[in-house]
Amino acid sequence: MDKICISGGRPLLGTVNIGGMKNAALPIIFATVLVNDVCVLENLPEVRDIATALEIIKRMGAEVERLSRGNYRIDTRGIRCGSAPLDLAREMRGSYYILGAELGRFGRSATGFPGGCNFGVRPIDQHIKGFEALGAKVICSDDAVSCYAERRLSGAPVYMDVASVGATVNIMLAAATAEGMTVIDNAAREPHIVDLANFLNSCGANISGAGTEVIKIRGVDELHGVTYAIIPDMIEAGTYMIAAAATKSTLTIKNVIPRHLEATTRKLLEVGVDVDEGDDFVTVSYVGALRKARVKTDFYPGFPTDMNPQFCVLLCLAEGQSTLTESVMDHRFKYTDELTRMGAKITVSGRDALIEGVSELHGANVRAVDLRAGAAMVIAGLSAPGTTVIDDVYHIERGYEDMVGKLRGVGADIRYLSDLMPTPKA
């Protein structure tokens, strides 16, 4: 298993290009199963979770052809219902979108219980509630979920008790070809929900209100293939914005939608970092000592939970006592033990972290305990004088495209440990 090695404490300078958004690409890849035609998806990030999603639909009978970097032709006409490979499905969270897609197309589905980052229990009760409202029966075992409908799904009102991204996606997929109108109340408002609605609408669906808390889906009889480009990844962008601030640098983050970054931008301005917005870029500059802040994660447009670990690193380097409250996921602070090894002073109590700023962190051997925590270790390592070695970096590769290459491109001393090993003689 490879590790990432960073010689930190040096400033970065230049431009980082942002790729397509993993959490928008996943629902859209599984939505192609529902579309039952040929789609060309552009700007797919070339990361492990996307490769796994493409492999899953391939094993289900789709033809997947890589046209060029990030651009794929996907023909789902040959999909065999119920053929999702359970082992692969269990590797990632987004695989549960098979349920909504297959239910919408075939009226039944089965898949492995979804995996993904371990933030404690991640229930799927809201997905089940939605499927049942549309007329499906759902059966869960310890490691698999199956659902079926005796007749065509029928549109219905669904009130979500929590504005879950995954459940909103799954209900949209199941309802797109149901009979009549589905209204999702208290829906997730994340940009990836809007991207899925835009994709489905360009395939012939009739969805309105995506991006607000009420989404209306009038079912259509069938969908057709399209060419569609995925939106830029706001979490990848936010990660490099924080890397700029933590390393006392200036970075331009390009190919972004600045509106999606507003929560992160606001908090960066609050701690004393300059952010200059253009049409499709932001330039982030460190201009002096970082100030303490109170940060609370929330559903979009609140501060994203997927930026919690990265922003924590910045608060570790800010003067005074900051607080970071996690209000979306149950257990998101496992990574703080790793930051403590680097000299951070963090006290966690339930969903709250109290952070005592230090003047600098120091290099250490740490682990990526999950995807965003891994990105936080990279930021901490870049900021800290000395050598940081990060283990379990496969987590990072699940969601960041060529993070090592992109950071080397702006002057970071970062590499895979395997690249430092002498090549064995033939």
Interacting residue ranges for ligand EPU, rule: CB under 6 A = 23, 26, 93-94, 117, 122-127, 162, 164-167, 188, 305-306, 328-329, 371-372, 399
Q: How far apart are CA 192 and CA 83, in angstroms?
A: 26
Closest CB to ligand EPU among residues 120, 320: 120
User: What single-letter DSSP state applies at residue 381?
Assistant: H
Closest CB to ligand EPU among residues 182, 305: 305
Closest CB to ligand EPU among residues 23, 322: 23
Closest CA to 64 of 75, 56, 53, 50: 75
Catalytic option among 5, 39, 81, 117: 117
Return the structure tokens found at 364: 């250490």
Closest CB to ligand EPU among residues 161, 222: 161
| 21 touches 191 (CB < 8 A) | yes
Give the nearest distance from C-beta 386 to ligand EPU in angstroms: 28
Return the structure tokens found at 244: 């700029």
Closest CB to ligand EPU among residues 290, 373: 373
At position 56, the amino acid (one-letter code) is I
Phi, psi of 92 (to 5 degrees): -145, 155
Give the nearest distance from C-beta 122 to ligand EPU in angstroms: 5
- Tell me, yes or no, if 5 is annotated catalytic: no
Give the nearest distance from C-beta 274 to ligand EPU in angstroms: 27
Closest CA to 264 of 244, 247, 279: 244
Closest CB to ligand EPU among residues 73, 122: 122
Q: How far apart are CA 416 and CA 426, in angstroms?
A: 22
CA 306 to chain centre: 7
Reduced to 3 states, what is the DSSP secondary structure of residue 422? coil
Maximum Cα interatomic distance, the chain, rounded to a whole number of Å: 67
Residue 362 buriedness (CB in 10 A; 0-12 / 13-18 / 19+) = middle
Give the nearest distance from C-beta 147 to ligand EPU in angstroms: 14
* Sheet of strand 365-367, all strands in order from the earlier edge strand to the far edge: 365-367, 386-391, 4-8, 413-416
Residue 103 buriedness (CB in 10 A; 0-12 / 13-18 / 19+) = buried
Give the nearest distance from C-beta 189 to ligand EPU in angstroms: 11
Q: How far apart are CA 294 and CA 240, in angstroms?
A: 21
Give the nearest distance from C-beta 401 to ligand EPU in angstroms: 13
* Residues involved in catalysis: 117
